[in-house]
Structure 1
Amino acid sequence: MKLYLPLVLAGAALLTGCKGLNDDYQEKAEENDKQIQAYITSNGLTPTKSVSGIYYQLGGTTSGRKPQVGEQVRYTYSLMQLNNQIVDTTFKTKVASGTWGLNFSRDNGALLEGLSLMGVGGTNIVLSPHSRAYGSQQYVDSTGKVILPSYSAVRYDIKMLRVLNEAEQIEEYTMSKQLNVTETTSDGLRYIRITEGTGAQLTTGKTATVRYRGQLLNGTKFDESPVAGLPFTVGVSSTISGFNQALQKMKVGGKAIVILPSAIAYGTRGRLNDAQNAYTIPPYAPILFELEILSAN
């Protein structure tokens, strides 16, 4: 069942700090806590209560690798009310992912805190009051049926599958696409030559006409030149350092795929689309360009 939620679910955390609403939120959170304790007893659980007010019970592998800031986390989870009403099982079998250290889109405090307590191979049952979950929001399914009333306590069942740093993400991508990496530089650029080209070598100061396409490793396109290409002054144009570095490895007529770690791309800041208030390139994201050098002078 797919849960229809807004893109940002930080409302509960923000509203709990608003004067005039705090008392109501706190009262309902206390009611949730009593509901959770009754649920624990009736289901024979033995969780630990965190400072924030969630209850968690770890299982599976307890010594697995834990994520560090900037690493990709892959996990599965399901969400239900404490009356066992299923709310969301979209990611019970489908893998969810996010960059550690960022507030994953569509996630909330309880889920993120639950993940923070785990390592790879671990499981976690998380019981959360509304104040760490979906607050006053009420959610419906595609038919309009209410599947999560306002101020609901919820249960997450989480499993952490993998943690990958950028080098591991790039390695996974090149292997899955069966790409033969021609060169790996000291700063992590992967250069995959498709066609060497027979024209002049690009050097600093040359103006090259480049046809290109830029994408994330999940295939999401973030930029593309016209078919006729765009001009770049090699080593001078105000573009990301990895792009300039890649051009200097190419000749006119050459084609290549280059994969750039974030340190020589958009780094820890990413690239934000201000109009949509969303990242076109997330922080810590390795990116890929398909390049073709059409001409140079």
Structure 2
Amino acid sequence: MHRLLAAVAWAAALALASTSASAQSYPTRPITLVVPFSAGGPTDTLARILADRLGRTLGQTVVVDNTTGAAGSVGVGRVARAAPDGYTLGIGHWSTHVVNGAVYKLPYDLLNDFEPVALVASNPQLLVGKKAVAAKNLKELVAWVKDNPDKVTVGTAGVGAASHVSGVYFEQKIGGKVQFVPYRGAAPAMQDLIAGQIDIMFDQAANSIPQVRADKIKAYAVTARKRLAAAPEIPTVDEAGLPGLYISVWHGLWLPKGVSRDIVARLNAAVVEAVSDPVVREKFAALGQEIPPPAQLTPEALHAYHKAEIDLWWPLIKTAGIKVE
């Protein structure tokens, strides 16, 4: 019995030493960063900025792989099924890691089947309107919507998209009703807003700011507690008269469940270094992205924030009956 116990202890010690050595030498080959959306979109752009900087810190190439489908759930599922060795990393955001859990039947658990690495950026929404809308500010806009139930048209990037859920939250906050007009993405919705075919929409700041600056649409407020550095002239919802309408399309990085803590820590440190780089910060700012403060860059902070967002948004989405057909 003593020999058996000694053998077991020796095997465990060898395994621990092997794991520790593996983590210390990690990475020894390229890392795949799975982007659950097409090339050229906001998430892909962020991923490529990060991949370049992470690769220099880690001493290995970080290869961006666009795995698309089902509103990002296909790519996220690929990460969930990957070997827990640290060589498959996934980027996702509010829609893929919060909203999809309420509108899809997913083959993975968003909170328990992944190892959080870091929250990397957040992009508040802008509430924007066509030029012909008479409302000069957010208070007037809210009054107009409430005086015209089910008549004011709100463009969305599709059922369950951030723009759609934001509109539902807006309805709830003001006690009014709007008419949602779904599109196959934010780009065609924005085209119709510029053309005056729809009245208002919630859109990612990075997409709307150029149109606001070109005087093609109106901006009523940013859905955040503070003004955007990229557009400081646009008031927050608190300042504009609709306090608490906070909506942010935040991005984070996750690994498959079971990756060693040492490797998670190695990647987290690389991410912290990347988002501290002035060049990366400048590129993110140009996209309307806000980088979290240092205390919110830990794996534990991402997990806590992720859970809080699920607790906030799932009841609203399910009560509103938002479903993907």
Higher strand fraction: Structure 1 or Structure 2? 1
Please give the TM-score of this superposition, normalised by the length of structure 2.
0.20
Please give the TM-score of this superposition, normalised by the length of structure 1.
0.22
Higher helix fraction: Structure 1 or Structure 2? 2
Q: Which structure carries more relative contact order (alpha carbon 8 Å, separation 6+)?
A: 2
